[in-house]
Amino acid sequence: MRAREPAVERATVCVDTDAVATARLMAEEKVPALVVDEEGAPTAVLPASQRIRILVPAYVIDDPTPAAVVDERHADRLFWVLKGRTVRDCLSGSVPAPPVAESDATVPEVAALMARARSLLVAVVDEDRAGKRLLGVITAVRLLD
């Protein structure tokens, strides 16, 4: 089986996409990460954990003790920290290139790439004279299915 076969089309975002819209998209599609796509080519993967880093103040990440005193009413307000931000704001300063597999890669090759990159998904691309074009993604769940 080749990577193009288990690859599934997923919604993508660009670096200027609204962070709140991105959060809603992740929730609606029930995906742990989205591919950041610029002109048809994957440039990054935005995992939910990067969004969460923006929601949680740095002092709580460093020492989780203060988190115990935040009640549910105030915890719900953390989401609005994303308001007015973009995907670019949610990506960490050093964004590694996303794991990308050619459409004719084998499934074991995709699995090895996923393991090496410690990523929950791999972008599958096809290349022609116009350049690389995103075909879809293969998630870890899809590989294990």
What is the C-alpha separation between 58 and 38, in angstroms, rounded? Answer: 30
**Full residue range of the structural domain in which residue 134 is found:** 12-144
Predicted TM-score (pTM) of the model is 0.73
Number of domains observed in the structure of the chain? 1
What is the C-alpha separation between 114 and 123, in angstroms, rounded? Answer: 10
CATH number at 91 reads 3.10.580.10
Give Cα separations from 58 to 29, 63, 88 (angstroms). 28, 9, 18
Assess if residue 2 is contained within a domain. no
All residues at 6 or more sequence positions from 129 whose CB lies less than 8 Å from its CB, including other chains? none
Per residue of the chain (145 residues), what is the pLDDT tens digit? 888 888 888 888 988 998 888 888 888 888 878 888 888 788 888 877 766 666 666 666 677 776 666 666 666 666 666 778 888 887 867 677 789 999 999 999 999 999 999 888 899 999 888 778 889 999 888 888 7
Assess if residue 60 is contained within a domain. yes
Assess if residue 5 is contained within a domain. no
Assess if residue 7 is contained within a domain. no
> Strands 121-128 and 12-13, how do they pair?
unpaired
Among 122, 143, 104, 120, smallest CA distance to 4 is for 104
